Amino acid sequence: MSDLKRTVLYDLHVGLGARMVPFAGYEMPVQYPLGVLKEHLHTRAAAGLFDVSHMGQVILRAPSGRAVDAAQALESLVPVNLMDLKEGRQRYALFTDAEGGILDDLMVANRGDHLFVVVNAACKDQDIAHMRSHLTGACVVEEVTDRALIALQGPAAEAALESLVPAVTAMRFMDVAVMAWQGVDLWISRSGYTGEDGYEISVPDAQAVAFAEALLAMEPVEPIGLGARDSLRLEAGLCLYGHDIDRSTSPIEADLAWAIQKARRTGGAREGGFPGAGRILSELTEGAARKRVGLLPEGRAPMREGVQLFAGAEGGEAVGQITSGGFGPTLQAPVAMGYLPAGLATPGTVVYGEVRGKRLPARVTELPFRPSTYKR
Amino acid sequence: MKYTEDHEWLKLDGDVVTVGITEHAATQLGDVVFVELPEAGGEVSKGDEVAVIESVKAASDILAPADGTITEVNEGLADNPALVNEDPLGGAWFFKMTLKDRSVLDGFMDEDAYKALIG
């Protein structure tokens, strides 16, 4: 694993007994001795700490020193209303391509004099190049390379973080703030990737281990690996880039129309003006031919990524496929997401997934599988 | 107890061999969430995929260790797949079979050889 990068928390993971695996060019913990299942359940019952330092942290700064000018520039790459994003607030966004496919999904925060953007690890180099090639002149694109990113998720996350940074209790879901801990600035958002209430905290590399250790010293906080992160986000119905969404899926097909605010839609104040607007706006009004759905396999056999979906128990061509699937520890049942033709995408419809040569029934269902517990 | 290179254990009792997976295999798989068992009464050949085991991470096949006939399967395992992690060498046996040729047992590893394999 010599070409792989390590986050500043690498030694801490190894010391905690993590099994390290290659992920997006990094050596990352896939699980700790607790194991994926118990890590998942622990996060839902108490609090889980995740090292997400491999993700890209980027600052977009306009020459004017106003976040709204950086927002105006970034709006040329995403179908999202960023100019009306208030200071101290964060929003989900998507980089689209000229064909209306998805290049990556990201979080954008307004921090007064600049935007703070968090992108996926596997896409960060191309995202940064993409922003630099399209935004240069309007914005300076600075990659933040000296800070770790730690997620703290679950019902006990608030109390745990409060004991280090009391003011975090005042934050609501998708708020962002800069708060001091032991003399250093933490960049905190109240958000995450588990469907739980919680926070993501950007901390300078030099203090990251001490900060993580201070949280892990608390009884309700356990370290959680990538395995449970995946099953948690799946139960929460959240997309994983490169699996549920990619350049072959449009935001409408992916059922992410909610991320496209009125201002960017047909008839809105700043209609279109993003890559692939023709297709995406037309799908918004006409509907897309296929749609991402939740699927509950009726038996106990998990339906994993790549499983082909059929309309009937016998015969016919595949009509879609599973893009994420596995066992949902909170539901104690298999759960999956995949794409189906619009006519089969209505909740309650039964389709068939082919697992080891056998067609097994699965029911289309609303997402998320497990209601989220965000503090709105 | 005998062991295969596929991390299965075999226990001979009279003419019947009980088959399960080793503790090492169970640990490597992680939390088991689904087990699919063969039909009792079926004839199998060495290397046939006779059972499926799925953990939170992935699916794996359980292979027939030798030619023979499945005589009994552990139905309780389908209802409680977690038993594979809790008691891999005992309660979580997968199936029992009679062997076409009992001498094949001599070809499998003993405990010391298996321990050396997983070293």
Provide the pLDDT for residue B57.
Answer: 85
**Predicted confidence (pLDDT) at residue A1 exceeds the cutoff of 60:** no
Provide the pLDDT for residue A2.
Answer: 65
Q: Which of A235, A250, A273 is the C-terminal boundary of a domain?
A: A235
pLDDT band at residue A66 using 50, 70 and 90 as cut-offs: very high
CA angle B94, B96, B102 (to 5 degrees): 130
Q: Which residues contact A28 (CB under 8 A, 6 or more apart)?
A: A7, A13, A20, A21, A22, A51, A54, A225, A226
Q: In B, which residues are within 8 Å of A300 by CB distance?
A: 33-34, 78, 81
Provide the pLDDT for residue B119.
Answer: 86
CATH of the domain at A367: 2.40.30.110
pLDDT in tens, A149-182: 999 999 999 999 999 999 999 999 999 999 999 9
Instruction: Verify whether the Cβ–Cβ distance A36 to B54 is below 8 Å.
Output: no
ipTM confidence: 0.86
The answer to whether residues A13 and A29 touch, using CB atoms and an 8 Å cutoff, is yes
User: How far away is chain B from the Cα of A44, in angstroms, using its nearest Cα?
Assistant: 17
A181 and A325 fall within a common domain: no
A229 and A297 fall within a common domain: no
A230 and A332 fall within a common domain: no
* Cα(A252)–Cα(A249) distance, integer angstroms: 8
Give domain limits for chain B. Answer: 2-113
pLDDT average, residue stretch A99-113: 98
pLDDT average, residue stretch A239-262: 98
pLDDT band at residue A349 using 50, 70 and 90 as cut-offs: very high
Q: In B, which residues are within 8 Å of A36 by CB distance?
A: 30-31, 56-57
A34 and A155 fall within a common domain: yes
pLDDT in tens, A306-348: 999 999 999 999 999 999 999 999 999 999 999 999 999 999 9
Which of B34, B54, B57 has its CB closest to that of A36? Answer: B57
What is the crossing angle of helices A124-135 and A67-74, to 10°?
A: 100
Question: Hey, what are B116's tokens?
Answer: 């050396």
Residue A205 lies in a domain: yes
SS (H, E, C) chain B: CEECCCCEEEEEECCEEEEEECHHHHHHHCCEEEEECCCCCCEECCCCEEEEEEECCCEEEEECCCCEEEEEECHHHHHCCCHHHHCCCCCCCCEEEEECCHHHHHHCECHHHHHHHHC
Q: In B, which residues are within 8 Å of A327 by CB distance?
A: 33-34, 54, 56
The answer to whether residues A103 and A247 touch, using CB atoms and an 8 Å cutoff, is yes
pLDDT average, residue stretch A58-64: 97
pLDDT in tens, B9-67: 999 998 899 999 999 999 999 999 999 999 999 999 999 999 999 999 889 999 999 99
With an 8 Å Cβ cutoff, is B41 touching chain A?
A: no
Provide the pLDDT for residue B50.
Answer: 94
Provide the pLDDT for residue B58.
Answer: 86
Instruction: Verify whether the Cβ–Cβ distance A227 to B57 is below 8 Å.
Output: yes
Per the structure, how many domains does chain A have? 2
A34 and A158 fall within a common domain: yes
Instruction: Verify whether the Cβ–Cβ distance A300 to B57 is below 8 Å.
Output: no
**Predicted confidence (pLDDT) at residue A366 exceeds the cutoff of 80:** yes
**Predicted confidence (pLDDT) at residue A114 exceeds the cutoff of 90:** yes
pLDDT average, residue stretch A58-74: 97
The range of the structural domain enclosing residue A165 comes to 10-53+146-235
**Predicted confidence (pLDDT) at residue A262 exceeds the cutoff of 90:** yes
Mean pLDDT rounded to a whole number for chain A: 97
CATH of the domain at A46: 3.30.1360.120
Residue of chain B whose alpha carbon sits nearest to that of A231: B56
Residue A19 lies in a domain: yes
* Cα(B32)–Cα(A118) distance, integer angstroms: 34
SS (H, E, C) A150-219: EEEECCCHHHHHHCCCHHHHHCCCCEEEEEEECCEEEEEECCCCCCCCEEEEEEEHHHHHHHHHHHHCCC
B2-113 has which CATH code? 2.40.50.100
A35 and A150 fall within a common domain: yes
A151 and A43 fall within a common domain: yes
What percent of chain A stands above pLDDT 90? 99
**Residue A267: what are its φ and ψ, rounded to 5°?**
85, -5
A310 and A209 fall within a common domain: no
pLDDT band at residue A49 using 50, 70 and 90 as cut-offs: very high
